[in-house]
């Protein structure tokens, strides 16, 4: 027999529970309503930043800034994806516990600006003669501006570099100067040795788009032409077919699963003759704890295609100020200090390429780079285009669409038909995305 | 070959395959913790290599790991203990007093994706000045642990013979007294296994700590990402830290298994 036990004074308990609920809700709402709108004098300046060599380097100099602003600086580092997730959650809730942010101008900036999450810095960058805003290279500076307002300042720039094996390419006359030569050498070195690859590069659908962009530009194409999709043009199809053949015929198996993390170790292990990726990762090949090619790696400018050598030259990371920060002036002081000509020169001398032309013009700041890399960076910067992905609001979705023909080329499918489909899809996407861009 | 022999052989193969699928990533993680970064990324280096302790030496030399381990331990133990205190009596009440609707409402907390809760949580806790504290992590973990323990324990209490509590009531105990003195001790194995599961959830949780913790209260799962930077990953350090993070969970699971012994209630009703 089962008894159902009834607690005594159940009504009383229910009443108390309800009262407690009302009391708790009232307390929370009251507390929420009374939020402070000024920072306390001892509140730290909070910087939420990418885990990057730039951030690690700047953290060593923070005491200088702390002394200047009379406030402690609290620096937290996250990976790129975690950083974006944190910003999305916190800034949606108008967070005041972030003052300075590192953002990817080409990935995040348009959406962040549209959402009103990053402060307008136009008056500050243009109104400060000592800051020399026009000293920043054109391409990175233009990418700091969204809807007519300067909302970020570039601190780290990137271009593609051609990493190659000097010992293997010596008989071919060194690094290839054209994309056609590059393909020939890749096929030949691949043919000579079992288990060795002529070329390695990113092949993941969305992940490969940024590095493929330099191939696209050098074939004379672009992601968009006059506001419409450019990925169905003959130039773009030729670039898709070329990159696909390079990885299909001379690349490692499973290339369509490879992004930076998978492709880089193959070259570092000495298993590939050439590799195209960001110049920011060069130190990985010079570190004996990671690389077996420290003595044989060479660096070259991006090879020329039918339209010449047209690599990207982008601000990979920029600094912005949280619109909801209670320490706007101190946040600007951080930006001003971290992107000043002196600091950019200091960091570039330590191997972290910045965005100031005056610093690039000073040979002393390039002394820490291998000589051939410094020359490659200088040439790529001079020829560079300021974007390496479609300049849209929903960058992730755009990269998925643009990357589809890339995958088809790598697995040996007919690229032209897939590119035509992707072109139509990208056009539809651009119409929708343009509507969202209305500020 | 008889059908029984074939069945046994097939079962053996399937068990081996399943165990291999589960164990291989753990074996790879532990092996990588003893490799250099060159060896980790070289597919020709399998399980035969000269091991190095450098990765463990490096991660242990950095005080951040011990600090994060302590944070994870504090948050895991306190949130689990408080969840047990809240959820076990609640489970008994739901089971005994047929409060299924109440139980279902609590279950909603398990259904809602955590990420959708984070924006309002963050806003609320930020306004209360709690973001970056251990308390906010404990409360957020309890939000998931309480329904977990509640629903495990409801079944457990429903499986206990109600006659035992009736007998206790007849001997003069109140309803809650019968719970405390009779039902709770009998439910100890279930409570222990529910607590182990809640602790494992808390120990492994990443997203709450990512948003709600700061550098002082950062837990282990968030710290692991510090080994991954923009252009490079310290695989050896990452795997050494991951191995150190896995050990307490393995111990908790092994320790908790001792409580997963059936038959206690059957013995209790004898005589």
Helix (H, G, I), strand (E, B) or coil at A297: strand
∠ CA B223-B229-B233, rounded to 5°: 90
Kindly tell me the sign of the dihedral angle through the C-alpha atoms of A151, A106, A349, A132.
negative
Q: Is residue A63 part of a domain?
A: yes
Q: Please check whether residue B259 touches A, CB under 8 A.
A: no
**What pLDDT, on a 0 to 100 scale, did the predictor assign at position A218?**
97
∠ CA B76-B79-B80, rounded to 5°: 75
Question: Are B37 and A290 within 8 A, CB to CB?
Answer: yes
Q: Please check whether residue B234 touches A, CB under 8 A.
A: no
Question: Are B124 and A85 within 8 A, CB to CB?
Answer: no
Q: Is residue B58 part of a domain?
A: no
Residue ranges of B 50-69 with Cβ closer than 8 A to chain A: none
Strands (E), A129-288: 145-146, 149-150, 153-158, 160-165, 197-200, 224-225, 228-229, 272-278
Instruction: Tell me the chain A residues in contact with residue B98 when contact means C-beta distances shorter than 8 Å.
Output: 4
Residue A266, both tokens = 């193959």
A230 and A294 share one domain: yes
A411 and A336 share one domain: no
∠ CA B14-B19-B24, rounded to 5°: 130
Confirm if A307 and A330 have CB atoms less than 8 A apart: no
Please, where are the H alpha helices in A177-233? 179-192, 209-218
Question: Are A97 and B120 within 8 A, CB to CB?
Answer: no
A338 and A244 share one domain: no
pTM (2 d.p.): 0.81
Q: Is residue A194 part of a domain?
A: yes
Residue A7, both tokens = 């607690």
CATH number, domain with residue B172: 1.10.3720.10
Q: Please check whether residue B2 touches A, CB under 8 A.
A: no
Strands A45-50 and A100-103: parallel
A272 and A416 share one domain: yes
The Cα–Cα gap between B193 and A234 comes to 63
What domain range is A354 assigned to?
A: 45-151+314-381
Domains in chain B, number: 1
Radius of gyration of chain B, Cα coordinates, nearest whole angstrom: 23
Q: Is residue A263 part of a domain?
A: yes
**What pLDDT, on a 0 to 100 scale, did the predictor assign at position A305?**
96
The Cα–Cα gap between A365 and A350 comes to 8
Q: Please check whether residue B116 touches A, CB under 8 A.
A: no
Last-in-domain residue among A381, A399, A414: A381
What domain range is B166 assigned to?
A: 64-268
**What pLDDT, on a 0 to 100 scale, did the predictor assign at position A7?**
42
Residue from the list A6, A76, A92 with its beta carbon closest to the beta carbon of B215: A76
A294 and A406 share one domain: yes
Q: Is residue A13 part of a domain?
A: no
A80 and A127 share one domain: yes
Q: Is residue B160 part of a domain?
A: yes
**What pLDDT, on a 0 to 100 scale, did the predictor assign at position B226?**
83
A164 and A296 share one domain: yes
The Cα–Cα gap between A38 and A41 comes to 9
Last-in-domain residue among A343, A363, A381: A381
Q: Is residue B46 part of a domain?
A: no
The neighbouring-strand residues paired with A284 are: none
Domains in chain A, number: 2
A57 and A200 share one domain: no
Among the listed residues A107, A83, A117, the one whose alpha carbon sits nearest the alpha carbon of residue B211: A83
Distances (CA, A) of A159 to A100, A384, B117: 25, 8, 39
Query: pLDDT (tens digit, 9 = 90+) per residue, B202-256?
Result: 999 999 999 999 888 999 999 988 888 777 788 899 999 999 998 878 877 777 6
The Cα–Cα gap between A296 and A168 comes to 9
pLDDT averaged per 10 residues, chain A (length 439): 40 48 54 61 92 93 95 92 90 92 94 95 94 93 94 96 96 96 96 91 94 97 95 97 96 92 91 95 88 95 96 95 96 97 95 92 90 93 90 93 96 94 96 80
Q: Is residue B178 part of a domain?
A: yes
Q: Is residue B36 part of a domain?
A: no
Which residues lie closer than 8 Å to B168 by C-beta, 6 or more apart?
A: B177, B178, B181, B182
Q: Please check whether residue A40 touches B, CB under 8 A.
A: no
**What pLDDT, on a 0 to 100 scale, did the predictor assign at position B39?**
85
**What pLDDT, on a 0 to 100 scale, did the predictor assign at position B258?**
63
Q: For every one of its 271 residues, what pLDDT tens digit does chain B have, with 9 covering 90 and above? A: 577 888 999 999 999 999 999 889 989 999 999 998 888 877 777 788 888 999 999 888 878 888 999 999 999 999 999 999 999 999 999 888 877 778 788 878 778 887 788 888 999 998 888 998 999 999 999 999 999 999 889 988 888 888 888 898 888 888 889 888 988 998 888 898 889 889 999 999 999 999 999 888 999 999 988 888 777 788 899 999 999 998 878 877 777 666 655 434 434 444 3
Which residues lie closer than 8 Å to A402 by C-beta, 6 or more apart?
A: A209, A223, A231, A389, A390, A422, A426
CATH number, domain with residue A244: 3.40.190.10
Question: Are B226 and A51 within 8 A, CB to CB?
Answer: yes
Instruction: Tell me the chain A residues in contact with residue B211 when contact means C-beta distances shorter than 8 Å.
Output: 85-86, 89-90
Instruction: Tell me the chain B residues in contact with residue A52 when contact means C-beta distances shorter than 8 Å.
Output: 229-231
A218 and A264 share one domain: yes
Strands A197-200 and A272-278: parallel
The Cα–Cα gap between A425 and A417 comes to 13
Question: Are B233 and A291 within 8 A, CB to CB?
Answer: no
The interaxial angle of helices B114-127 and A10-33, nearest 10 deg, is 70
Q: Is residue A4 part of a domain?
A: no
Question: What ipTM was reported for this prediction?
Answer: 0.77
A191 and A228 share one domain: yes
A274 and A181 share one domain: yes
Query: pLDDT (tens digit, 9 = 90+) per residue, A195-244?
Result: 899 999 999 999 999 999 999 999 999 999 999 999 999 999 999 999 99
A366 and A390 share one domain: no
Instruction: Tell me the chain B residues in contact with residue A43 when contact means C-beta distances shorter than 8 Å.
Output: none
Question: Are A52 and B231 within 8 A, CB to CB?
Answer: yes
């Amino acid at each position: 027999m089962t008894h159902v036990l009834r607690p005594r004074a159940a009504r009383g308990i229910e009443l108390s529970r309800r009262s407690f609920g009302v009391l708790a809700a009232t307390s929370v709402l009251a507390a929420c309503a009374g939020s402070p709108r000024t920072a306390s004098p001892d509140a730290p300046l909070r910087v939420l930043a990418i885990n990057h060599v730039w951030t690690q380097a700047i953290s060593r100099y923070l005491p200088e800034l702390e002394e200047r602003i009379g406030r402690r600086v609290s620096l937290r580092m996250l990976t790129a994806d975690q950083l974006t997730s944190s910003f999305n959650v916190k800034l949606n809730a108008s967070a005041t516990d972030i003052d300075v942010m590192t953002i990817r101008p080409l990935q995040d900036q348009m959406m962040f600006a549209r959402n009103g999450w990053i402060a307008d810095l136009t008056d500050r960058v243009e109104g400060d003669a000592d800051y020399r805003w026009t000293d920043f290279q054109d391409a990175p500076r233009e990418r700091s501006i969204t809807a007519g307002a300067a909302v970020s300042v570039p601190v780290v720039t990137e271009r593609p570099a051609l990493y190659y094996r000097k010992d293997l390419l010596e008989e071919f006359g060194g690094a290839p100067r054209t994309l056609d030569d590059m393909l020939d050498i890749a096929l030949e070195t691949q043919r000579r040795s079992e288990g060795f690859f002529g070329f390695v590069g990113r092949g993941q659908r969305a992940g490969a788009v940024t590095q493929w962009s330099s191939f696209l530009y050098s074939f004379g194409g672009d992601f968009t032409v006059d506001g419409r999709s450019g990925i169905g043009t003959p130039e773009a199809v030729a670039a898709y077919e070329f990159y696909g053949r390079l990885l299909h015929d001379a690349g490692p198996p499973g290339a369509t699963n490879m992004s930076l993390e998978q492709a880089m170790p193959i070259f570092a292990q000495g298993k590939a003759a050439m590799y195209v990726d960001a110049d920011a990762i060069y130190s990985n090949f010079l570190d004996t704890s990671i690389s077996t090619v420290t003595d044989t790696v060479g660096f070259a400018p991006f090879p020329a295609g039918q339209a010449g050598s047209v690599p990207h030259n982008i601000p990979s990371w920029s600094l912005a100020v949280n619109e909801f920060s209670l320490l706007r002036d101190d946040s600007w002081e951080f930006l001003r200090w971290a992107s000043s000509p002196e600091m950019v020169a200091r960091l570039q001398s330590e191997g972290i390429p910045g965005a100031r032309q005056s610093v690039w013009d000073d040979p002393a700041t390039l002394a820490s780079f291998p000589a051939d890399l410094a020359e490659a960076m200088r040439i790529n910067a001079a020829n560079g285009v300021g974007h390496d992905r479609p300049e849209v609001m929903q960058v992730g979705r755009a990269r998925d669409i643009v990357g589809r023909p890339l995958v088809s080329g790598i697995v040996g499918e007919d690229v032209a038909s897939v590119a035509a489909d992707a072109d139509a899809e990208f056009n539809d996407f651009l119409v929708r995305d343009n509507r969202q861009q209305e500020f | 070959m008889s059908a029984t022999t074939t069945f046994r052989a097939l079962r053996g193969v399937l068990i081996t395959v399943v165990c291999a699928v589960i164990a291989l990533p753990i074996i790879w993680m532990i092996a990588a913790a003893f490799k250099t970064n060159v060896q980790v990324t070289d597919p020709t280096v399998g399980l035969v290599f000269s091991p190095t302790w450098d990765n463990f030496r490096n991660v242990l030399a950095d005080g951040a790991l011990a600090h994060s381990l302590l944070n994870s331990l504090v948050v895991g133990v306190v949130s689990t203990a408080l969840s047990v205190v809240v959820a076990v009596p609640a489970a008994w009440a739901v089971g005994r007093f047929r409060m299924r609707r109440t139980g279902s409402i609590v279950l909603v907390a398990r259904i809602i994706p955590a990420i959708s809760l984070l924006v309002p949580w963050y806003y609320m806790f930020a306004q209360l000045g709690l973001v970056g504290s251990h308390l906010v992590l404990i409360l957020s973990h309890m939000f998931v642990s309480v329904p977990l323990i509640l629903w495990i324990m409801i079944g457990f209490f429903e499986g206990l013979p109600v006659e035992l509590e009736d007998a206790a009531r007849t001997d003069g105990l109140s309803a809650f007294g019968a719970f405390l003195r009779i039902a709770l001790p009998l439910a100890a194995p279930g409570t222990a296994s529910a607590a182990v599961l809640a602790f494992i959830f808390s120990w492994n949780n990443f997203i709450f700590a990512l948003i709600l913790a700061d550098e002082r209260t950062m837990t282990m799962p968030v710290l692991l990402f510090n080994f991954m930077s923009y252009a490079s990953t310290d695989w050896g350090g990452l795997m050494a830290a991951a191995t150190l993070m896995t050990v307490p969970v393995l111990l908790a699971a092994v320790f908790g298994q001792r409580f997963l012994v059936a038959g206690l209630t059957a013995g209790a009703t004898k005589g």
